[in-house]
Structure 1
């Protein structure tokens, strides 16, 4: 499994979440909402020190990661994070990994 962060999304994290080198940004399964992968669950994000990293991508010193306990949510899919040009908010997409 991989996490891909676009340049636009990287700027969003720096501007909106004040992410800076050395920070950890976690993607996690959140009860409520829906996603293309699971009804009743959606993807959450927070800045938090990791407990047990399963997947990690580092961009410009910022660590983007998923904990071992949340890996089930991705159901063998890679996560792509970008921004929606219309809303300028984060947009998540998932692709089956090989």
Structure 2
């Protein structure tokens, strides 16, 4: 799995969550929500420190990551976190992994 965070999305998280350089932001699986990859589930976010990162990206001085325990959610998909100017918030774009 590849996790990519676009610069604009990273800046949005940094501003909205008042993150500072060298902070970490975890994407984790949660029950409910809208637009998830798995039925009835979606990704949540929270500042946290990685224990067993499965995938990660670093932008705007922030480490974005997914823990190993949440790897099942992606089921051979990669994700790009983009900033949507229409909604003025991040959006998750899932696409199939070619090498997995």
TM-score (norm 1): 0.91
Is residue 27 of structure 2 the alignment partner of residue 17 of structure 1? no
Q: The residue matched to 2:45 in structure 1 has which SS?
A: strand
Kindly provide the CA deviation profile for residues 28-50 of structure 1, in whole angstroms up to 9, marking residues without a partner as x: 11011343521110111111112
* 1:69 aligned partner: 69
* 1:54 aligned partner: 54
CA RMSD of aligned residues (A): 1.3
Structure 1 unaligned runs (5+)?
none
Higher percent of residues as strand: 1
The total of aligned residue pairs comes to 98
1:75/1:34 CA distance change after superposition, 3 Å: farther
Runs (4+) off by over 3 Å? none
Aligned partners of 1:36 and 1:15: how far apart in 2?
A: 24
Structure 2 unaligned runs (5+)?
none
TM-score (norm 2): 0.89
